[in-house]
Amino acid sequence: MIPVFAIIYLFGKKIKDDSKKINLKLSIKIIIIPLIIALLSFFWSRHLMVNYLRDVPHVPDSISYVVLAKIISSGKFIFPYSEIPSYIRADQIKDFFYHWFQTNKTGLFVPYLIGHPLVLALGNLFGIINYIPPLVGSLTLLLIFFITYFLTQSVMFSLISMGLCFISPFFQTQTIDYLSHNSAVLFILFSIFPLFLNKESTKYFLLTGFFLGMLLNTRPLTFVAVFISIILYLIIEFIKDKKFKKFLLKLTYSLIGSITPGLIFLYYNFATSGNIFTTPYQFHGILNKVGFGSDFKIGYGLLNTFSNLAVFSLFFLKNYYVSFFPLLLSFLLLPFSGKYLKKILFLQFLSLSIIGVWTLYDGNFFMYGPRFIYESVPILGILYGLSFFVLYQVFRHTNWKYFSYLLFIFYFVFIFLFE
C-alpha cells in the first residue's frame, strides 16, 4: 500500500467540487447489462438451491421463518389452539412443538420478528416462496447498480460495484436460504436510496422511513446502526447547507413512511408477548446478551467482532487483501474526493457501523459465514466501486492516468487467481 499511497499523494489531483446535477434518466442501453447480471444471479441461486440444498431450509432459523411466513399467508399471526390436531393433548403441546413455537393465551406463535417472514409470505401467497431468496438477491444487485450509477454517472464503475457483490461467495450463500439477512440488505438499500438522488423533492424519504421500519421488524441491532448513520448524515447535511425546511421535510416524510411498519412492530409484539415494547426475542433468552444485558461482557463482544472480521474477509472476496484493499483505498482517497467526500464518509461509517454494532452482542452463530455482518457486503460493494471511480478521476488528467487502469487489472486478476 505504501507505493500506492505515495503515487496518489505525489501525482494525484483533487476532484473539483462542482454543483453539476445528477442525471436520473436510465436508458435501455444503461440497464440492459445490469438486468442480465440480475437474471444470471437469480438462476445461479436457484441452481444452488435445487442442486445443493434440495430447495429446503437448512438452518433452524430458516425453518422458523418459513413456518411463520406460512402462518401469515393464511391470514394469521398466531396459530390458534382450536386448529391443533386433536391427537395432541393439551399437556403435550409445549413438548411437541419445542423450539419451533411458543405459547400464549390465544395459541402458538413463532418467536421471531415479522419483517422477513412478511416477504416470504408474499411469495407463499403466489406459491413461489422458494423463489424469494434469489429474487431478493437480484433486486439487491440492481439497487447496488442504481445507487452507484447515481453517484458516479458511470456504467463501468456501477457494474464493478454490482459485480463485486455478485461474485462474492458470501452474497451467493445468503441468496439460497431463507435467513433474514437477505431481506435486511434489501431494506437497507431502499432506506438509503433517497440519500443518493440529490433531488429537491423530499417525498422519496417516505421510502427511508418505511424500509427503516421494515428493518426494525427484521434485524433490530442492525437497524440501530443504519438509523444512526442516516440521522447523522442528515444532520451534517443540514449543518453544511443551512436548509432547515428541507431537513425538516426529510424527517417528516421519513416519520410518515415509518408509521405502517412501526404499527406492525408494536401490534405483533403485543399479539405475541402481551406488551407492545417486548419483542418475541425475549423467549430465546438472548436479550440478556445484548448491550447492557446481565450476561453481556464487552470482552466477548470484541472477540466476536474480530472473529467475524477474520472469517468475513474469506467469505466476502476470498482473502484479506482483496476484501479490504478497496476499503483502505477509500480512506487514502479522502483528501482528493472533492464532491464525493460526504458520500464516501457515509458509506464508510455505515458499513463499519453495521459490522461494529455486533460488538454489543455476545454470540457468533456462523451459518453460511459470519451472517450477522453480511448486511455490510452490498454497502462495501458500492463503496468499492465509488473508490475505484474516484481513483480514476484523480489520475484522469495527469501523466499517471494509466496507473488506475493497471491497479484495477491487478486487483481483479488477483481476485480470480487466488485460491
Q: Is the pLDDT score of 112 beyond 80? A: yes
Answer for the pair 376, 311: CB distance below 8 angstroms, yes or no.
no
- What helix, strand, coil percent values describe the chain, rounded to 5? 70, 0, 25
- The per-residue b/e assignment along 128-140, b for 16 or more CB within 10 angstroms, e otherwise, is ebbebbbbbbbbb
The model's confidence at residue 290, banded by pLDDT at 50, 70 and 90, is confident
Q: Buried b vs exposed e over 303-322: b needs ≥16 C-beta within 10 Å?
A: ebbeebbebbbebbbbeeeb
At 218 the pLDDT is 97
Q: What are the grid coordinates assigned to 75, written together? A: 391470514
C-alpha distances out from residue 73 to 60, 67, 98, 104, 181, Å: 20, 10, 23, 21, 21
The 102-103 sheet, strands edge to edge: 79-80, 107-109, 102-103
Q: Which helix (H) or strand (E) holds 236?
A: helix 220-241
Q: Are 174 and 378 in contact (CB under 8 A)?
A: no
Is the pLDDT at 21 greater than 80? The verdict is: no
Indicate the range of 193-197, 262-266, 301-305 predicted with least confidence. 301-305
Which of 114, 121, 154, 120 is CA-nearest to residue 136? 120
pLDDT > 90? residue 12: no
Average pLDDT rounded to a whole number, residues 52-61? 87
Q: What are phi and psi of 8, to 5 degrees?
A: -60, -45
Is the pTM above the cut of 0.85? yes
- Is the pLDDT confidence value at 88 over 80? no
3-state DSSP assignment of residue 307 = helix
DSSP 13: -
Q: What mean pLDDT is predicted for residues 215-241?
A: 95
| Residue 18 confidence (pLDDT) | 66
Is the predicted pLDDT of residue 387 greater than 70, yes or no? yes
Mean pLDDT of the chain: 89
For residues 334 and 341, the answer to whether their CB atoms sit within 8 Å is: yes
C-alpha cell, 99:
423450539
Q: Looking at residue 65, what is its pLDDT?
A: 93
